[in-house]
Amino acid sequence: MARGWESKSVEEQQSEASQPSTQGKPTNNPESRQRANTVQALRLKRARVVEQLRASQNARFIELMQQELAYLDTELAKLTHS
């Protein structure tokens, strides 16, 4: 089972990596490269949290991971919509 979850995570990461993270914005300057790196890091953290949610059966841990997921989604929204 663990191997299957691992594969899904890798597939998600690969599909996200193949999508342009800045949606047409040039990544020539350091600020836009930093933003793209931050967005990518947040997406990877989000994928990890989603996998932990799927694997967990502890209600307190699930609640914590849901809070973390909400925080990551908020941060991603700030970076991708500004």
Tell me if 56 sits within 8 A of 23, measured CB to CB.
no
Q: Which residue has the tokens 């809070």?
A: 67
DSSP string, 14-82: HHHHHS-SSTT----SHHHHHHHHHHHHHHHHHHHHHHHHHH---HHHHHHHHHHHHHHHHHHHHHHH-
The predicted model scores a pTM of 0.64
Residues ≥6 apart with Cβ < 8 Å to 38: 79
What are the boundaries of each domain within the chain?
57-82
For 40-75, the pLDDT digits (tens) are 999 999 999 999 999 999 999 999 999 999 999 999
- State residue 67's pLDDT score: 97
Per-residue pLDDT band at 81 (split at 50, 70, 90): confident
